[in-house]
A and B are shown apart, each in its own frame.
Chain A
């Protein structure tokens, strides 16, 4: 272990004295996040993100339709108005008075009460796709729960709220209990992206060292290849953790981003750092050319950042992209961080953490089968 710590110490000291690298690792993410966070907060006039103006045309008038409208009105994310006709709803949309139009068709309540799937139309201009997606999620979530309640009542198992005749209360546990603002979103989005970028850049450093005479000197010494790998892994973890701590502190206390419970955030972040360190190691072992790693850092990380929601909120993407984002470590951690900041259950956290640790394990195994060779 002494050898491992010596390697970690040397690499960290080397990095700490590299002002240019420090600037790239710490200053750039802070500046970029500040710009994005403040710019987007300005865009939303400091209100919680997203504030969506929804115009509802209820052509049904049944219990489901009324409850859905009431549910949306009860959400701080939406400002709901009602239109007398589908035509006037579309006009409100066209004139910019509303961002999203909701058309509840005639007979929707009957269909859903009998266990069917009610077709509620959510319309929006192309540029409002994000808001459209958000409203659609709420409508779908409400619909599935209404359907479950209806089935329960039909089967003689009335929920307490329905039996008491009180308005139905629905809590979206997975989406958390606190609203999200733009600064919080972009703080985590940028952190996910920059940590990923730095992990890939560290892989470039590993490739460069492997091709240098420094590696020859290590390989000529009485050091096992596994000790070298552990040294690389730990030093990468240290660097990523340091970057993460600085960014997190800045986001929390300078930008005012929300956070989840410390333990939840710690578990998630630790898992993500392990996944990234593993990714860094596997790239460092398998890629021979530093130019290829540069390409991965330039193109690969950007693609992953876009798909993972770091550039544009993931809720605005089509379903398949959102599903794909959950396979990417950065996409998975972003959603998990945001969920934690909004107040989710531990179950959601564990699922994300286990997935990220599994990614780390796969990467480490892939790195282990490749012994570094002298160039």
Chain B
């Protein structure tokens, strides 16, 4: 559906985006993950036609953005990072205005306005001016405006930056609902939890380059794909180590005072085997912690630093 081919953008000697390519299929929730300054927003700006890439191409349904900007832009909806609304206009007026800018008129505009107000949970506040909205309400309307022409692909550039947890959850649920209803979503964030929650496929960017790309589970596996199991025990595990190692032959079991830990690809059966082996020595687990592989770990594995530490812009 949307194909991004080898995008490159430089500002002077600074390479903002360097050879980024990915494909987004219909119905995907595609995440662009990376620290601040990784090139996510520049990539989004090129994909949505705000800036011209130095090289590379963006294609939607086979149509080049460069050659057929109107065709492509009418099918994309952009939710910018900052609030892009007329503050002194009401929620409804804003939706009507942006609808007309995107070429929606008449009955279709009326229907879309109603739908957007419903999606944003702002039907009761339709006549209220945006300047009187809370930060979360503005964010929700900001997203709703991006939907006013019912785009085929919704592009969201860090839409949850600087808002409270309640509004953030509302936005994430809304985006997930839209995606479940069939809307293709491209979602950028430096919050790996958001991308893990929403997206089925993703690309990780760092210093303008794509360092990982694929299905969510595949990218997770880049961290080694191993879950870490930690067990607190009611006795000394030393006598049971050999039995544990036999029960879990592929894993290296580490033992400490009253606890063991091991890394395993499939933690469910492994925990069962470990508990059984320990019970033969009269040792029972007091507490079991399973840390599954995640994007944070993948990013750490790929770059040598944590995602939230990577901000350089």
A221 touches B101 (CB 8 A): yes
Residues of A within 8 A of B85 (CB): 214
B70 touches A14 (CB 8 A): no
Binds B, one of A5-13, A273-281, A341-349: A5-13
Q: In whole Å, how far is A25's beta carbon from the nearest beta carbon of chain B?
A: 15
Please give me the residue from chain A that is nearest to B155 by CB atom: A220
**A17 part of interface (Cβ distance < 8 Å):** yes
B201-239 contact mask (Cβ, 8 Å, vs A): 1 or 0: 000000000000000000000000000000000000000
**B240 part of interface (Cβ distance < 8 Å):** no
Residues of B within 8 A of A43 (CB): none
Q: In whole Å, how far is A288's beta carbon from the nearest beta carbon of chain B?
A: 15
Residues of B within 8 A of A373 (CB): 51
Chain B, interface residues (CB within 8 Å), range: 20 to 34
Please give me the residue from chain A that is nearest to B98 by CB atom: A217
Residues of B within 8 A of A10 (CB): 86, 89, 93, 97
A220 touches B73 (CB 8 A): yes
**A3 part of interface (Cβ distance < 8 Å):** yes
**A218 part of interface (Cβ distance < 8 Å):** yes
Instruction: Report the separation of the CA atoms of residues A18 and B87 in the bound assembly, to the nearest whole angstrom.
Output: 10
Residues of A within 8 A of B87 (CB): 14
Please give me the residue from chain A that is nearest to B70 by CB atom: A222
Residues of A within 8 A of B69 (CB): 222
A-B contact count (CB 8 A): 72
A9 touches B98 (CB 8 A): no
A13 touches B93 (CB 8 A): yes
Instruction: Report the separation of the CA atoms of residues A218 and B85 in the bound assembly, to the nearest whole angstrom.
Output: 11
Residues of B within 8 A of A222 (CB): 69-70, 73-74, 102-103
Known: A13-B89, A17-B129. A6 touches B84 (CB 8 A): no
Residues of A within 8 A of B101 (CB): 3, 6-7, 217-218, 221, 223
Please give me the residue from chain A that is nearest to B88 by CB atom: A17
How many A residues have CB within 8 A of the partner chain? 23
A220 touches B89 (CB 8 A): no
**A213 part of interface (Cβ distance < 8 Å):** yes
**A111 part of interface (Cβ distance < 8 Å):** no
Instruction: Report the separation of the CA atoms of residues A95 and B141 in the bound assembly, to the nearest whole angstrom.
Output: 75
**B192 part of interface (Cβ distance < 8 Å):** no
**A39 part of interface (Cβ distance < 8 Å):** no
Among A218, A221, A373, which residue has the most Cβ atoms of chain B within 10 A?
Answer: A221
21 A-B pairs in the complex with CB atoms less than 8 angstroms apart: A2-B105, A6-B97, A6-B101, A9-B97, A10-B86, A13-B86, A14-B86, A217-B78, A217-B145, A219-B49, A220-B48, A220-B73, A220-B78, A222-B70, A222-B73, A222-B74, A222-B102, A222-B103, A374-B45, A374-B50, A374-B51
Going nearest first, the 4 A-B pairs with the smallest beta carbon separation are A213-B80, A6-B100, A213-B84, A17-B88
Other 20 A-B pairs with CB < 8 A, given A10-B86, A219-B49, A222-B102: A2-B100, A6-B100, A7-B101, A9-B97, A14-B87, A17-B89, A17-B129, A18-B88, A212-B82, A214-B85, A216-B45, A216-B50, A217-B101, A217-B145, A219-B50, A220-B49, A220-B50, A221-B101, A222-B70, A374-B51
